[in-house]
Amino acid sequence: MLRDTAQETRFDPPGAMASPANGRSWTCERPDNGLPVQAGGIGPTMPIATVSGPVLARDMRPGMQVHTLYHGVQRVLWCGQERQLHAQGQPSPVRLAPGAFGLSRRHGPGLLAPGQHLRVRHARNPVLFAADDVLCRARDLVHLPGIQHVKSRYAVNWVHVLFDGLEIIPAGGLWLESMQPDMPALRARHADLAEAIEAAVPALRFHCGQAAYARQMPVLNRAEVRLLGCQGMSV
pLDDT tens-digit profile, the chain (235 residues) = 323 323 233 333 332 222 223 334 456 655 444 556 677 999 999 999 999 999 999 999 999 999 999 999 999 999 988 888 776 667 789 999 988 887 777 777 899 999 999 999 999 999 999 999 999 999 999 989 899 998 877 788 999 999 999 999 999 999 999 999 999 988 998 888 899 999 999 999 999 999 999 999 999 999 999 999 877 777 7
What number of other Cβ atoms are within 10 A of residue 191's Cβ? 10
Give the Cα separation of 57 and 33 in Å (integer): 25
CB-count exposure of residue 31 (10 Å: 0-12, 13-18, 19+):
exposed
Give the Cα separation of 43 and 222 in Å (integer): 22
Nearest in space to 116 (alpha carbons), one of 134, 139, 144, 96: 139
The residues with which 189 forms a beta bridge, in sequence order, are: none
Does residue 157 sit in helix, strand or coil?
strand
What pTM value is reported for the model? Answer: 0.84
